[in-house]
């Protein structure tokens, strides 16, 4: 494989939440222009790690984003460089779809927040990409859970940042829209953008380029998704209750029912 540049480089990340250490010294490298998936069992610290990489948590250690320390970024610059899609914490039902996605353009707007033609273009593109264009005037409160998720995804896409971090982006999405999401990510990487996702659906995660396997706050394995070592690492981390197999040149995770206890 040709030498791709590193989008994120972290060394010895330590994160404590509520007095307990959750991440114990994470060293990882995320390659630029590719899609990296982070998998691991519940409570392994996946979301925490992603938040730390996005600069949303306090951590010890160093994170370099495009070779610059994360702490050195000014808030607005960081907002333009890193797009974040977190788990659904929406509290207001009053905003309409268009306004929600337009919020993704905040990093480019001054305080008067008047949308430029570029902003409008970005919002339109994002809405089209998530098939949300037709109901852009509807309020969040009138949408189903899946529709809401697509709108939030559009919001993240509208930022048009070179690095996109997504935490459980497939929540509430039905299979066709999960596939759309996959296509979206491929579209982003084809534009040279970097995507990092935390997914608990291992089957979907296996479609990524690179995989980071994490367990109990430590990195167990980093490598390409097609590598057998990666597959063994995933199986091991899930107690061998799943087996990674290939069907039609796609990797899938199959429940391992044959193993006797």
Partner 1 sequence: MSLNKSNNWSIALVMLLSIALCIGIGLSVGSSGLESLQNAWHDEVAWQIIWDIRLPRTLGALAAGALLGLAGALAQGLFRNPLADPYLLGSASGATLGVALALAFFGGNQLATEVLVRVGLTGAAFVGALLAVVLTLVLAKGVQHTMRLLLAGVIVGVVMGAMASLISLMRPDILQNMQGFLLGSTAFIGWSACIVMACFLIPCLCFAWFFGFAMDALSLGESTAVSLGVPLRAMRMVIVLLVALATGTAVAQTGLIAFVGLAAPHLVRSIASVKSGSLALLSALMGGLLLLLADILARSLIAPQELPVGVLTAVLGGGYLLWLMYRNQNQGALG
Taking residue 186's Cβ as centre, other Cβ atoms within 10 Å add up to 14
CB of 68 to partner 1, least distance (A): 16
User: Between residues 111 and 249, which has the closer beta carbon with respect to partner 1?
Assistant: 111
The binder of partner 1 chosen from 31, 46, 78, 231 (CB under 8 A): 78
Binding mask 86-105 vs partner 1 (x if CB under 8 A, - otherwise)?
x-xxxxxxxxx-xxx--xx-
Could you tell me the end-to-end alpha-carbon distance of the chain, in angstroms, rounded to an integer?
40
- Interstrand relation of 35-39 and 194-198 (parallel, antiparallel or unpaired): parallel
The binder of partner 1 chosen from 31, 51, 193, 231 (CB under 8 A): 51
- 68 binds partner 1, rule: CB under 8 A: no
User: Between residues 68 and 90, which has the closer beta carbon with respect to partner 1?
Assistant: 90
Closest CA to 231 of 256, 194, 196, 248: 256
The binder of partner 1 chosen from 155, 177, 221, 231 (CB under 8 A): 155
- Contact window for partner 1 (CB under 8 A) among 25-33, 62-70, 78-86, 195-203: 78-86
- The owner of tokens 């330590």 is 14
- 132 binds partner 1, rule: CB under 8 A: no
**Cα–Cα dist 101/122, whole Å:** 9
3-state secondary structure 147-198: HHHHHHHHHHHHCCCCEEEEECCCCCCCHHHHHHHHHHHHHHHHCCCEEEEE
- 159 binds partner 1, rule: CB under 8 A: yes
- Contact window for partner 1 (CB under 8 A) among 24-32, 84-92, 211-219, 243-251: 84-92
CB of 7 to partner 1, least distance (A): 16
Q: What is the chain's percent helix, strand, coil content, to nearest 5?
A: 35, 30, 35
Q: CB of 185 within 8 A of CB of 159?
A: no
- The owner of tokens 């000014």 is 74
Two structure tokens written together for 132: 């949300």
Two structure tokens written together for 139: 């309020």
User: Between residues 68 and 254, which has the closer beta carbon with respect to partner 1?
Assistant: 68
Binding mask 7-46 vs partner 1 (x if CB under 8 A, - otherwise)?
----------------------------------------
CB of 160 to partner 1, least distance (A): 13
The binder of partner 1 chosen from 38, 49, 52, 152 (CB under 8 A): 152
CB within 8 Å of 249: residues ≥ 6 apart:
none
- The owner of tokens 């994360």 is 70
CB of 165 to partner 1, least distance (A): 8
**Cα–Cα dist 24/16, whole Å:** 9
- Contact window for partner 1 (CB under 8 A) among 32-40, 108-116, 174-182, 216-224: 108-116
Kindly list the residues in this chain that would bind partner 1 in the complex (CB under 8 A).
51, 54-56, 75-76, 78-80, 82-84, 86, 88-96, 98-100, 103-104, 106-107, 109, 111-113, 136-137, 139, 141, 152, 155, 159
């Amino acid at each position: 494989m040709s030498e791709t540049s590193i989008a994120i480089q972290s060394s010895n990340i330590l994160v404590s939440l509520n007095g307990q250490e959750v991440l114990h010294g994470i060293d990882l490298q995320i390659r630029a222009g590719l899609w990296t998936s982070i998998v691991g069992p519940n409570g392994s610290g996946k979301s925490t790690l992603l938040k730390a990489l996005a600069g949303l948590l306090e951590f010890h250690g160093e994170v370099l984003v495009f070779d610059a320390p994360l702490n050195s970024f000014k808030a607005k610059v960081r907002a333009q460089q890193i797009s974040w899609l977190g788990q659904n914490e929406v509290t207001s039902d009053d905003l309409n779809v268009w306004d929600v996605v337009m919020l993704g353009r905040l990093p480019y707007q001054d305080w008067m927040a008047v949308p430029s033609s570029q902003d409008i273009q970005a919002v339109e593109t994002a809405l089209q990409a998530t098939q949300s264009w037709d109901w852009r005037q509807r309020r969040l409160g009138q949408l189903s859970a899946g529709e809401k998720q697509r709108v939030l995804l559009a919001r993240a896409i509208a930022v048009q940042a070179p690095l996109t971090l997504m935490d459980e982006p497939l929540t509430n999405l039905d299979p066709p829209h999960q596939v759309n999401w996959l296509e979206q990510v491929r579209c982003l990487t084809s534009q040279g953008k970097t995507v990092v996702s935390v997914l608990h659906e291992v089957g979907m995660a296996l479609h990524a380029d690179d995989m980071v396997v994490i367990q109990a706050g430590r990195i167990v394995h980093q490598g390409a998704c097609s590598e057998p070592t990666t597959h063994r690492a995933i199986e091991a981390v899930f107690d061998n209750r799943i087996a990674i197999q290939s069907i039609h040149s796609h990797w899938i995770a199959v429940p391992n029912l044959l193993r006797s206890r």
